[in-house]
Amino acid sequence: MAADPHGPNKLTDYIQIHETVMQQFIADGFVIRDGTGFTGYGIGLFLLDGPVECQGGIVLEVRKVLKRVDGHGASTRVQTIEYSYNGVLTGRGCILRYDGPHLHRPMHHVHRYDVLNGDKEGTIQPSEWPSLGQVVEELRAWYYDNFDKL
């Protein structure tokens, strides 16, 4: 049985995976700058948030809450408990947004917008819980599919 990709992970490993994924997208040329930051929020919570700037004026706004599971110092283990990945085409609107369960909609879901045709309403569908890398990958595919319209 495969390990849960969203299960508890050592904080240092978590950060290393984030860096590796971002470096791959930067080397590939799609991601221009990873502007995410990591903060100890207090009371056993950490925040990971900030923009990931991509080609074509695409920005992925990342918001994640991680919870301390156990361990100490650099061995602390954490697990993501909240997330929102909002992919925006600067000056035009949202391309997609993956949200974790929240007070209004208690399941993982994705909002998709036909942004190039002025769609501000979008559609909402239940989704799997994506990783940050999977969302960047989807935005990269969208970018190449729509390259001539940007």
One-letter amino acid identity for 37?
A: G
- Rounded Cα distance between 84 and 98, Å, is 6
Q: Considering the complex, what minimum distance in angstroms separates the CB of residue 137 from other proteins?
A: 18
106 versus 148: smaller Cβ distance to other proteins:
106
Please state, in angstroms and as integers, the Cα–Cα distance from residue 45 to each residue in 48, 79, 83, following that order.
10, 10, 13
9 versus 36: smaller Cβ distance to other proteins:
36
Q: Considering the complex, what minimum distance in angstroms separates the CB of residue 148 from other proteins?
A: 26
> Residues in the site for other proteins, rule: CB under 8 A?
11-12, 15, 18-19, 22-23, 33-48, 50, 61, 63, 65, 67-68, 72-74, 76, 81-82, 84, 86, 88, 94, 97, 99-100, 102-105, 111, 120-121, 124
- Rounded Cα distance between 146 and 111, Å, is 18
Q: 3-state DSSP call for residue 130? A: coil
